Structure 1
């Protein structure tokens, strides 16, 4: 099987692990929007930002270090055991400190103590499965990986449906039911309880890997892994800022009486960017082990260039397709009209995520050359752009300013990574083709959304023209990849 064909096969399987759970999860968005006031949906959305940051802190780049060291070291067993033990001990320490400081954290972040406890436990159990999932990916077991991921979200979905729809009906029909004590006035509780229960079940499923890998700790090896991982941690923190701190800043800068509601409508319309996120995440899961395993191949740079080209083609098509059919997609994801006021941000969020995806492809140079500090520098610059522009634009443009800041941050990271990558690890990217696809998609998207006001006939014409462009330029190459034995 050819290298690219194998990559696309694994990306497809990992895509199932990403797309199917997210599709199931998308079902919950209309449920949340229907069941929760805009302000409560805003509270939930801003809390999720802290979970994203917490996941980065508790994994502290050890997943990427795991891939790098297990592929270049002869002591594979020691690498696995050291990574597993490191995250297990640090997660226990985090949970212990979190419980001691829960009241302080609650007052500082202005959330109920119950929500802080949910977050601590969810982060703890999610951290414990980081290395087991990395082990599955490194062993090229995408089906096992995908099955567990899908199982997790199915449980989450079923529990949400039970708490929001079934539980209230049970209590109405039987006032003496023991489930009466599980009712909450603030239904955000249900979201986090379901998430926590799903995380616990997932940990139980992967627990046998703890015995297979075993505990062990090589201090010298751990120090090398941590030094490699630390810039990845810094980059991850910066990524968390880029990904969600606009909601935190919105909540702090806007008037208190409208802040949570504004965060709610912005976060809801941000969900339409999930179609790009699904593609990027699936591709990243498949491509990261691939990059490391092919780093020493003779034609590695040409392969990386082709991967980036095809990623840009598919990503540009997704951008145009979602923008053109926003008015159809919003009926499925955002059935409540009161959330549609923030649809203006959708093209910006989609394009921002596409830039992020291209950045992930370009970032191969600093990962395989052990220059991960560049990843940290670039991500910190992106985070600085995010913070500065949000503080400058939000007072004047509200969530529109946040969308612009997100695009500015990710595009600056993409450009910086390309510049330094060509300096330290030059890859022969086909800039003419990449630029043609990207700029054509941006042009058509902008015209369809802002000039022709999402007219479906005109937008569909743009989609057709873009497909014809792909066929004209890539027909022979795509045939080779898809039909190669």
Structure 2
């Protein structure tokens, strides 16, 4: 099997858990947007912004560190696994307790009033459980147990989805007498209507605990070993990655926190800042199609890049990977952006959520550049210069905060979307320029730039030509999408050599 085919194969297996699992989770968006008003969904969006950000704090770069040190000659992988997991167990417990103590002030940053503290306690436990499971999952990836990895990931997602359906759909219907009234006494014992959006977090907590149980073999095959001496080189390698990850999460999630604080009162008539956060968060979900590809790719690519780093033709391989990754993401960008109204009608059940659909193309393009950055970042990981990632991420974080400060009062949540795009574009360009100096790779930058320009031009054309009727508008947008795919295929399809 060729190197490229091996990466595609691994990506496909990881993609089963990532893409299918994410799709199952994504099917909850119509459920949430139908069951909860935008202000209620704003609570979910805000707290999960914290989850994304704090997940980096709880894992502090130890997954990548584990991969790097496990591939060094002479490393005792069993000892490395024991020490890394021991460290995460201790730190996760301490951080969870600290978060619980800070629940009220952190909720205040999102303009969330009293009564939601227990949701934040559940969030702290979710973060702790997920952090502890990170190294066992990394071990499965290192040992190429992609199918087991995918199965356990999928099982956790299925539990989460099933509990959401049970508490948000079935229980209210039974309690009101619309469905299966015979189950009324049972439902009355387990269901509290006043918990509302809290069931979103409770379902996630149970799913995270179930995932830990399914990793029981990996957790039991572990001896607690803790001493600072062997951990110092790991932490020295990891802390720039953590800082880089924190900066990345500022870029990825802080817009929802900043939107709640910096949106002027009355900017959207009749809507609170929490409502605006809910609308923006729901529309952000439509960029998930790009995120699915990026996440599946990252699961397979990180160990792949480390394994290929010693090969003579690795730069050419990295260039080929970036090319096809970018072209695939460009297709996703065009198709979703041109047909975003159709996707919005399917997934955003209340009309108030669909008011923010204009941010979706901007966020899709932003995520495309984020994926490009992840590809380009291989150079500082392979050269052990991870501090460059910290510098790039920190620059992106500063730009994100500055642009949100400037644009939110003027453009509302569109300002947050533009800030995200500017940040990821800057990070990708800066990473590429620095990589040219330290780890040259023959990336086809000019060619990919032309393809992206064509993609953006077609999306702009599709939005600029107003077609009122659904049928002609749908045909116009589908036609543009197919035209892009056809031109891409004709130009980039593999040629047979004589």
TM-score by length of 1: 0.94
| Whole-angstrom distance in 2 between the partners of 1:6 and 1:450 | 42
Three-state SS of the structure 2 residue aligned to 1:129 is: helix
- Which region of structure 1 is more displaced relative to structure 2, 162-171 or 112-121? 162-171
Instruction: Name the stretch that deviates more: 305-314 or 186-195.
Output: 186-195
Q: 1:358 to 1:25 in 2, by over 3 A?
A: same
**Which structure dedicates a bigger proportion of its chain to helix?**
1
Aligned length: 479
Counterpart position of 2:357: 343
Residues 1:132 and 2:136 are matched in the alignment: yes
Aligned to 1:88: 89
Q: Provide the C-alpha distance between the structure 2 equivalents of 1:109 and 1:399, rounded to a whole number of angstroms.
A: 15
CA 1:433/1:105 → structure 2, altered by over 3 Å: closer, same or farther? closer
Give the CA deviation at 1:457.
Answer: 2.8
Shift of 1:334: 1.1
CA RMSD of aligned residues (A): 1.9
Partner of 1:474: 492
Alignment match, 1:184? 193
Q: What CA deviation, in whole Å up to 9, does each residue of 1:271-321 have, x standing for no partner?
A: 110000101111111111100000000000000000000011101111001
Give per-residue Cα distances to partners, 1:59-118, cap 9 Å, x unaligned: 000001001000114222222111111101111222333344445555566542111111
Separation of aligned partners in 1, 2:106 and 2:327 = 45
| Aligned match of 1:483 | none
Does residue 171 (structure 1) correspond to residue 175 (structure 2)? The answer is: yes
Structure-1 separation of matches of 2:453 and 2:145: 37
Contact 2:111 2:274 (8 Å CA) reproduced: no
Give unpaired runs (5+ residues) of structure 1: 481-485
* Alpha carbons of structure 1 residues 435 and 162: separation in structure 2 relative to 1, 3 Å: same
CA deviations over 1:316-344 (Å, ceiling 9, x no partner): 11100111221221122113222111111
CA contact (8 A) 1:87 1:127 kept: yes
Would the alpha carbon gap of residues 68 and 225 (structure 1) be closer, same or farther in structure 2, given more than 3 Å must change? same
Contact 1:452 1:458 in 2 (8 A): no
Moved more, 105-114 or 221-230: 105-114
Pick closer, same or farther for the CA change 1:186–1:139 going to 2, 3 Å.
same
Aligned residue among 464, 477, 492 for 1:459: 477
2:237 maps to 228
Residue 143 of structure 1 corresponds to which residue in structure 2?
147
Task: Find 1:122's aligned residue among 116, 119, 126.
Answer: 126
- Residue 21 of structure 2 is aligned to residue 21 of structure 1: yes
Distance change >3 Å, CA 458–CA 100, structure 1 → 2: closer
Deviations 1:15-60 (A, max 9, x none): 1111111111111101101110110001110110001111110000
> Using a 3 Å threshold, how does the CA distance of structure 1 residues 26 and 178 change in structure 2: closer, same or farther?
closer
Structure 2 residues without counterparts, runs of 5 or longer: none
Given the superposition, is the C-alpha separation of residues 176 and 317 from structure 1 closer, same or farther in structure 2, using an over 3 Å criterion? closer
TM-score normalised by length of structure 2: 0.92
Given candidates 444, 449, 455, the residue that maps to 2:463 is 449
- DSSP 3-state at the match of 1:426: coil
* Structure 1 contact 171–180 (Cα < 8 Å) conserved: no
Give the direction of change, closer, same or farther, for the CA distance of 1:182–1:409 in structure 2 (3 Å limit). Answer: same
Partner Cα separation in structure 2 for residue 104 and residue 397 of structure 1:
28
On the 8 A contact 2:18/2:292 being kept in 1, the answer is: yes
- After superposition, the Cα gap between the structure-2 partners of 1:445 and 1:109, relative to the gap in structure 1 and judged at 3 Å, is closer
Shift of the alpha carbon at 1:211? 2.3
